Amino acid sequence: MIAVMDAMGHKQFMLAGHDRGARLAHRVALDYPDRVAKLAVLDIVPTLEHFERADMEFALGYYHWFWLAQPHPFPEWLINKAPEEWWRQHTNRDPSQPDLFHPDALADYLAAVRQPDMVRGMCEDYRAAAGIDLVHDTASRSAGHKVQCPMLALWGAKGKIARWYDALAIWQSYCSNSVTGGPVSSGHYIAEEAPEALLDWFGRFF
């Protein structure tokens, strides 16, 4: 991501991410504090916090964290047997919203999940979260490294982050600057479920 910004001529930039993208954004802000002017994370707490606070409710609610992190090729083999069916079940967190994703986005998602290499990459991401990411996050915390820039943390009021954590307090402990934010009237997919509210938050923060 830093190489992309370099190629585009952006020495400093503002960064927002959702879910796995938010975890990446958090790491970029930690590793390159002089590059990230502002940071927004959507519907997460730090990966380290998830694993250290894990209990039965977390294991059942985020079961895919543990299943997709199993050694290659077990989860890939199962997903590739019925990729589209698996994707629809995995992302169908609110059956009352069957048309949550824009048709163009849905077509992209389904085209991607039919590619075995993409499925492998997705699983490797979860393996990293349970492995090297924890090594890096633990080292950063032990060294006292925190996010330096102003930060916005948002989460779905109907989702698991709201039920399990005091997200704002957790993020404040990972940041040396101000942390603002709060719940949005949505589930996990904030951008799709509550775009106007999200844009309002972004407009005021960025």
Residues identified as active-site: 19, 188
Q: Give the Cα separation of 175 and 155 in Å (integer).
A: 17
Burial of 205 (0-12, 13-18, 19+ CB in 10 A): middle
Residue with tokens 């959507």: 42
Contacts 24+ apart (CB under 8 A), 123-131: 123/68, 123/69, 123/72, 123/75, 123/76, 124/72, 125/20, 126/64, 126/65, 126/68, 126/69, 127/68, 127/69, 127/72, 129/23, 129/47, 129/65, 129/69, 130/51, 130/65, 130/66, 130/69, 131/69
Distance CA 110, CA 193 (A): 19
| Coil, helix or strand at residue 37 | strand
Lookup result for tokens 């990230």: 36
